[in-house]
Amino acid sequence: MRALEIEVFSCRTDNYGVLVHDPETDLTATIDAPEEGPILEAAARRGWKITHIFTTHHHIDHVEANLALKEKFGCEIIGPVNEALAIPGLDKTMADGDEFHFGEHLVRVIETPGHTAGHICYHFPDDKILFAADTLFALGCGRLFERTAADMWHSLQKLSVLPDETAIYFGHEYTLSNARFAVTIDPDNERLKARAEQIEADRAQGKFTIPTMMGLEKETNPFLRAADPAIRRNLVMESKTNEEVFTEIRKRKDNF
């Protein structure tokens, strides 16, 4: 099986667009459809035709180009069953644990409620790739619009059991602000400090921070580290539950 090819580009203000191409079957999926123009340009740049849209959640910055792309390419739109009515042009719904194939590549759906009630992530286990959209960012996690912090903590736990070598593609370039926040929560984490410095340098040059890796996130992303003794000590929350610690970290980020 030949490796998937991935094209990453920026759209809107801070969204990432991601195209996934299977060279064997010529299938091309766009992960969400944030903005028509940049998606068309990226596809043309690579000579790919959009055959699928993998929708993660209903927010406008993830579905705005659904109908335009469908009209142009006749592509199939797949999305979360729990947000089916809010997703334009949806053809096929997916729930937690559902599996399908993209060419010969296995795709597993992971429901991650928190940012929205029905948000799903697309995991390609054999390719070790996760499309996490607005659930898990480099050094961050999505804001809680439709579900509780406890729900989001549980969702992030489901992602964090994936192998360390999983490449994570996320929905927004928030990495610099996430890094500046993360060091306030986990100030003695040497790996985080080094990473934050690298991000400052990379973003000053406009470099993309996507993808990240699960192993790196587990070592440096405070939203995955509510159980870490140093973080708990820093927050003076040694006796609290992981959910409570996560809730406090999320609240602090909202006010950062």
Annotated ligand binding at 57? The verdict is yes
Contact 105, 126 (CB under 8 A): yes
Q: Is 89 helix (H, G, I), strand (E, B) or coil?
A: coil
Contact 134, 144 (CB under 8 A): no
Q: How far is CA 198 from the centre of its chain?
A: 21
At 182, which helix (H) or strand (E)? helix 175-185
Place of tokens 């990495």: 175
* Residue 186 interacts with which of Zn ion, Fe ion, none, CB < 5 to 8 Å by class: none
Annotated ligand binding at 172? The verdict is yes
Nearest distance in Å: CB 132, Fe ion: 11
Q: Which stretch binds Fe ion (CB under 5 A): 93-101, 134-142, 191-199, 218-226?
A: 134-142
How many degrees, rounded to 5, is the angle at CA 44 between CA 43 and CA 47? 85
Nearest distance in Å: CB 56, Zn ion: 8
Pull the structure tokens for residue 73: 């390419």
Q: Which stretch binds Zn ion (CB under 5 A): 2-10, 37-45, 81-89, 127-135?
A: 127-135
Q: Which of residues 150-179 bind Fe ion (CB under 5 A)?
A: 171
Type of residue at 14: D
d(CA 171, CA 131): 8
Annotated ligand binding at 105? The verdict is no
Q: Closer to Fe ion by CB, 35 or 111: give it.
A: 35
Nearest distance in Å: CB 116, Zn ion: 7
83 binds Fe ion (CB under 5 A): no
Nearest distance in Å: CB 101, Fe ion: 27
Q: How far apart are the first and last CA of the chain?
A: 45
Size of the site for Fe ion (CB under 5 A): 3
> Which is nearest to 156 in space by CA: 84, 99, 218?
218
Nearest distance in Å: CB 130, Zn ion: 17
35 binds Fe ion (CB under 5 A): no
Judged by the rule CB under 5 A, the positions of this chain that interact with Zn ion are 59, 134
Residues at the annotated binding site for Zn(2+)?
57, 59, 61-62, 115, 134, 172
Residues at the annotated binding site?
57, 59, 61-62, 115, 134, 172
